[in-house]
Amino acid sequence: MLDKTSKKLHNGSKVEPKYMVTITVKNIPEEIYERIKLQAKANRRSINSEIIAIFEHAIPKRTPADMNEILERARKVRELTSPYTVTKGEINRWKKEGRE
């Protein structure tokens, strides 16, 4: 039941004002499903809530500031390495070294 003044459900969960998306995941291996089920039980969550928690942990939240920092670092690396060109011969030599 929704408490309209506090925008919380009866269990205390917050109601997000934005539209929630539904995703269907097919062909989940039984072993993975069982592990999620056990983890959900251990964390006292529904399977759906556990999957959302796994997604939140696995997918970092990046802000525009984070992206600007990543782009700036990439520009600096590009600037520092621009005088050096890797030749096809070097690439082939490195591949061979890696296989030995």
Residue by residue, pLDDT tens for the chain (100 residues) are 444 555 665 556 666 666 788 899 999 999 999 999 999 999 999 999 999 999 988 987 877 788 888 899 999 999 999 888 889 999 999 988 878 7
| Full-model pTM | 0.48
In angstroms, what CA-CA distances link 60 with 32, 53, 66?
22, 12, 11
In angstroms, what CA-CA distances link 35 with 44, 50, 90?
14, 11, 45
What are the boundaries of each domain within the chain? 2-99
Scan for tokens 């291996």, then name that residue: 29
DSSP code at position 82: T
